[in-house]
Amino acid sequence: MAFFPIFLTVKDHPCLVVGGGNTATRKIDLLLQADARIHVVAPQISSLLQSWVDEGRISYRCGTFVETDLSGCRLVIAATNDNAINQQVSNAAKAHQILVNVVDSPESCDFIVPSMLSREPLQVAISTGGAAPVLARLLRARLESLIPAAYGQLAALMAAFREPLKQRFQNTTERRDFWESVLQGPIAELVLSGQQERAQAALTQYLAQVDANDAPLPRGEVYLVGGGPGDPDLLTFRALRLMQQADVVVYDRLVSPAVLNLVRREAERVYVGKKPNDHTLPQEEINELLAKLALQGKKVLRLKGGDPFVFGRGGEEIETLMAAGVPFQVVPGITAALGASAYAGIPLTHRDHAQACVFVTGHLKDGSLDLNWSMLTQLNQTVVVYMGLRALNEFCRQMIAHGLPANYPAALVQKATTSEQKTIVGTLQTLPDLVHQADIHLQSLIIVGTVVTLQQQLSWFTPPPGVSEH
């Protein structure tokens, strides 16, 4: 990352702003909100800045920048319309090891000013590293509607109880568990509905009950979450919320790095990915691991690619959890068939082509390929094969042997919804050779049906340059 995100205190510290126009005024306004001591240098200043000078809120020297203006400063902002002066300010500040920001010139900056959402004391800062400030402002506008002003009051209430909670709980995990139980319960709702006094009384009572062991902290739980086909934008809101609450994440190889990066950074990560004939952990041991971690009081995120209940063996895992008395939640995800078909431009159903869709797995429990061929070779349907790459040759041969024509449309989609997506379109006869010629890996899906003929017409997703589509 180009800039290290940091919140810097400037309260009562001298800060220099070079420039007196509208841009400088906006920066000065932000510094005033942070209680900085602001000195402005410019040949002339706006009427608003002059009023702040008259009120004693800022100091001002009429003139051009000189190096002595930097004396004692904590940070400097260059906001003139003269690039040469801005660069002079930047060079001088860096020579004195003073943090400097040059407006609209990220390459000359030690720090940049992000787009900010304030719900005092809660602050949200959004930055694109200076690459796309308009995008940052649009994202902030979206957050404005998602984060009510009362969240600041909720943060203030938590701050008021910070010390009593430290005295009660020495362990940071216990403190976090307490606050998560509060933030997801009726006390938080009292704050968000404007009932501050009732919320404070309820929180005081709850803390006293916990101290007397009358209200035990939440026990461990397992979140069985579908991570979708790869694009993190396709996650559900509920999945994102639980990903941020987990103490430990147990994940497999089908979870994309972009999705995994959204898990709470402090969470322990346990990889249990499985490849054909190469299991990091057998499924039975994964089941037991989930129960064991939850019984230790941890919030366990079982993060799976796609959907947990579509060839994800989620049913087996929750059978073990239920037998052990472990509470759990199941959060559906967009299964690979839906993601691959949508991003490849191959509708699974279509009035002129398919009135049914069948999902099958390309390998069974014993590794064989023993499918209901008479059912799969019916016309006017789409067949989607999960985990079928290794058996692709045999699958296509059997489909032809059981009645489908050799030129029946078929496609393979690799790493759907990601920048590495590849779509290969052919027939039952040609697809195996086309896939063999391409560099195709195990994260792929096979689609068979006349809907495949629509791919060229309906294809809309183009991977970034450097990733070819066959």
Q: Are 51 and 127 in contact (CB under 8 A)?
A: no
pLDDT attached to residue 346: 97
Coil, strand or helix at 347: coil
Strand ranges, E, within 141-263: 221-226, 248-251
Mean pLDDT of the chain: 90
Q: Which residues have CB under 8 Å from 324's CB, separation 6+? A: 291, 294, 295
The model's pLDDT over 92-124, given as tens digits with 9 standing for 90+, comes to 999 999 999 999 898 999 999 998 898 888 999
At how many degrees (to 10) do helices 150-160 and 196-211 cross? 40
* Helices and strands (H and E) in the chain: how many: 18, 19
DSSP track, 239-292: HHHHHTT-SEEEE-TTS-HHHHTTS-TTSEEEE--EETTEESS-HHHHHHHHHH
Per the model's pLDDT, the better-predicted residue between 163 and 468 turns out to be 163
Q: Are 319 and 222 in contact (CB under 8 A)?
A: no
Cα gap 425→402, rounded to integer Å = 21
Is 387 assigned a ligand-binding role in the annotation? yes
pTM: predicted TM-score of the whole model, two decimal places: 0.64
CB atoms near residue 336 (< 10 Å)? 28
Highest mean pLDDT among 60-74, 193-207, 318-332: 60-74
C-alpha span between 337 and 349 (Å, rounded): 12
Q: Which residue in the list 94, 110, 274, 292 is annotated as catalytic?
A: 274
322 pLDDT more than 70: yes
Query: Average pLDDT for residues 159-176, to the nearest whole number?
Result: 88
Q: Give the per-residue pLDDT at 396.
A: 95
Active-site position among 69, 231, 247, 252:
252
Tokens of 124: 């949200």
Residue-level length of the chain: 470
Q: What is the pLDDT of residues 118-142, one digit of tens each?
A: 888 899 999 988 888 899 989 988 8
252 is catalytic: yes
- Would you state the structure tokens that stand for residue 60, as one six-digit string? 């001002």
Confidence check: pLDDT of 305 > 90? yes
Q: Quick one: CA dihedral 84, 88, 90, 91, positive or negative?
A: positive
- pLDDT by residue (tens digit) across 188-209? 878 877 889 989 999 998 888 8
In this predicted structure, the answer to whether residue 427 has a pLDDT above a threshold of 90 is yes
305 is in an annotated binding site: yes
Residue 209's pLDDT is what? 82
**Annotation-wise, does 229 bind a ligand?**
yes
Decide: 181 and 217 in contact? Cβ < 8 Å: yes
**Does the annotation mark 433 as catalytic?**
no
Which comes out higher in pLDDT, residue 217 or 173?
Answer: 173
Residue 463, annotated ligand binder? no
- pLDDT attached to residue 194: 83
305-331: average pLDDT: 92
pLDDT at 280: 64
Judge whether 399 and 377 are in contact, CB under 8 Å. Answer: yes
Is 22 marked as a binding-site residue?
Answer: yes
Which pLDDT value is given to residue 467? 41
The pLDDT of residue 279 is above 60: no
pLDDT of residue 131: 84
* 36-51 confidence digits (pLDDT tens): 999 999 999 999 999 9
Give the pLDDT of residue 220: 80
336 labeled binding residue = yes
CA dist 30 and 25 (Å) reads: 9
